[in-house]
């Protein structure tokens, strides 16, 4: 919630804000668990906002998108977990503040 308050303060001075690439649900549907590779995800979505790697060959890509104007903000987060470079899990969340 604090991030949205901060964004609203910034909008008061700037008027409009966006960060990241808007995540299209059609693209998310193309990404298949136990089938899509890490390279294919990179080709579809580009470089992630954040990457986390662990010693057990698990990698997590996180894609974030923030957009707002005065009185409105939207955020999207897509998290994709890979094991041995194959998608094992994906989660997508979105929130809007008016």
Residue 39 has a pLDDT of 98
Query: CA-to-CA distance for 63 and 28, rounded, in angstroms?
Result: 11
DSSP 37: B
- Residue 17, sorted as left (phi over 0), alpha (psi -120 to 50) or beta, turns out to be beta
Query: CA-to-CA distance for 12 and 4, rounded, in angstroms?
Result: 12
Asked whether the predicted pLDDT for residue 3 surpasses 80, the reply is: no
pLDDT single digits (tens) 33-85: 999 999 999 999 999 999 999 999 999 999 999 988 777 889 999 999 999 99
Domains of the chain: 2-97 (3.30.1450.10)
Query: CA-to-CA distance for 71 and 8, rounded, in angstroms?
Result: 7
């Amino acid at each position: 919630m604090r991030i949205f308050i901060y964004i609203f303060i910034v909008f008061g001075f700037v008027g409009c804000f966006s960060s990241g690439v808007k995540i299209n649900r059609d693209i998310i549907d193309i990404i298949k668990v136990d089938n899509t590779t890490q390279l294919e995800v990179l080709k579809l979505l580009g470089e992630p906002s954040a990457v986390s790697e662990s010693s057990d060959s698990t990698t997590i890509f996180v894609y974030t998108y923030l957009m707002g104007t005065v009185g409105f903000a939207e955020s999207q987060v897509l998290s994709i977990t890979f094991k041995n470079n194959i998608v094992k899990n994906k989660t997508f969340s979105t929130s809007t503040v008016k």
